[in-house]
Chains A and B, each alone.
Chain A
Amino acid sequence: MDRIPILKMGPYLLVTIQVDLYDRLALNLENDLISMVSKTEAKGVLIDISAVSIVDSFMGRILGNIASMSRIMDAETVVVGMQPAVAITLVELGLTLQGVHTALNVEKGMELLQDLIGLYGGSNEDEEGEPDDRND
Chain B
Amino acid sequence: MNITANLLQKQKKRILEIWMQNQLADSALRDDLMTNDELLKQSEELIDALARAVKSGNIDNIFAAEFDQITEILSDVSITRARQGFSPRETGMYVLSLKRAISTVMEDEYKDQPEVLYKEITTINNLLDQLSIITFETFIKSREEVILRQTDEISEISTPVIRVWEGILALPIIGTLDSARTQVVMENLLQEIVNTGSNIAILDISGVPAVDSLVAQHLIKTVSATRLMGAECIISGIRAEIAQTIVHLGIDLSNIKTKASLASALQLAFSMSSVEVRKINKNTGAGLIR
Direct contact between the two chains A and B in their complex (CB within 8 A): yes
Q: Which residues of A contact B (CB under 8 A)?
A: 79-82, 84, 86-88, 90-92, 96-97, 102-105, 108-109, 112, 130-136
Q: What is the interface of chain B mostly: helix, strand, loop, or mixed?
A: helix
Tell me which residues from 197 to 252 in chain B have a Cβ below 8 Å from any Cβ of chain A: 197-199, 221, 224-231
Q: Are B290 and A134 in contact (CB under 8 A)?
A: yes
When chains A and B are docked, how far (Å) is the Cα of A75 from the Cα of B229? 21
Tell me which residues from 237 to 290 in chain B have a Cβ below 8 Å from any Cβ of chain A: 273-276, 289-290
On whether A102 and B227 interact (CB within 8 A), knowing A88-B183, A132-B273, the answer reads yes
Task: Point out the residues of chain A lying under 8 angstroms from B275, CB to CB.
Answer: 132
When chains A and B are docked, how far (Å) is the Cα of A52 from the Cα of B258? 32
A91, A96, A109: most-surrounded residue (chain B CB, <10 A): A91
B193 close to A (CB within 8 Å): yes
Q: How large is the interface on B (under 10, 10 to 19, 20 to 34, 35 or more residues)?
A: 20 to 34
Task: Tell me which of B225, B273, B274, B289 contacts A87 (CB under 8 A).
Answer: B225
When A and B form their complex, which 4 residue pairs have the shortest distance between CB atoms, in order from nearest?
A84-B190, A103-B230, A102-B230, A87-B228
When chains A and B are docked, how far (Å) is the Cα of A81 from the Cα of B190? 12
Q: Are A96 and B197 in contact (CB under 8 A)?
A: no
B79 close to A (CB within 8 Å): no
B221, B224, B275: most-surrounded residue (chain A CB, <10 A): B224
Q: Are A84 and B229 in contact (CB under 8 A)?
A: yes
Q: A84-B229, A92-B221 are in contact. List 20 more A-B contacts (CB 8 A).
A: A79-B230, A81-B230, A84-B186, A84-B190, A87-B190, A88-B183, A88-B187, A88-B190, A88-B225, A103-B230, A104-B197, A105-B230, A108-B199, A112-B230, A131-B274, A132-B273, A132-B290, A133-B274, A134-B276, A134-B290
On whether A97 and B228 interact (CB within 8 A), knowing A88-B187, A91-B221, A105-B197, the answer reads yes
Task: Tell me which of A104, A109, A130 contacts B274 (CB under 8 A).
Answer: A130
Task: Point out the residues of chain B lying under 8 angstroms from A96, CB to CB.
Answer: 224, 227-228
Q: Are A88 and B230 in contact (CB under 8 A)?
A: no
Task: Point out the residues of chain A lying under 8 angstroms from B230, CB to CB.
Answer: 79-82, 102-105, 108-109, 112
